[in-house]
Structure 1
Amino acid sequence: MPCFDPNSSLLAGMDQTALRASLAEAQQIYIQLATGAQAESLSYTQGDGTRSVTYTRANIAQLAAAIQLMQAQLGLVCSPRKALRLTFTRR
């Protein structure tokens, strides 16, 4: 069972080259924000046009989530699995 379904992702259908470029840019912006740089903009192309988002330190968690989604879409990481519940029985 796959840990992430790229066919049902918000990024499904996005060109892999463009997605990799967006990931690299988002990661660079994350580093800049985490080290105290000014607010940065991130642009990416979606099926219906180009989007631009400005991230600040206040919403760095949203940027991190976007990076994780792009990484999962590219197959670089798996989405976190649900916790397993272990049950012990006596014999």
Structure 2
Amino acid sequence: MPPFEIAINDSILNDSERARASQYRQPADRIRYLATRVALRKLLGFRLKLKPAYIHLITTQRGRLELAGAEQRLSFNVSHSGRHAGISRANRE
């Protein structure tokens, strides 16, 4: 693993997230995926008062990420464009 990838703490990711990251052929794509997923888990963990590793994410049939179970009181979206990623969130009523 190149040294610049070590800076991303992927210990909060689950096995399937790490496996998906390893499938990216280009290091820059892998880094973007890891950085975005780690940031998402940290933001959701902060908002839900949970450790990021305890966030349970599921993927819908349409490929959209959602929180599982009781955590569904929070809605979010992840968007990518080139080198940038955006994460938005909203409380569900």
Q: What TM-score, normalized to structure 1?
A: 0.31
Q: Which has the larger radius of gyration?
A: 1
Structure possessing the higher relative contact order (Cα contacts under 8 Å, 6 or more residues apart): 1
Q: What TM-score, normalized to structure 2?
A: 0.30
The structure whose residues are more often strand, as a share, is: 2
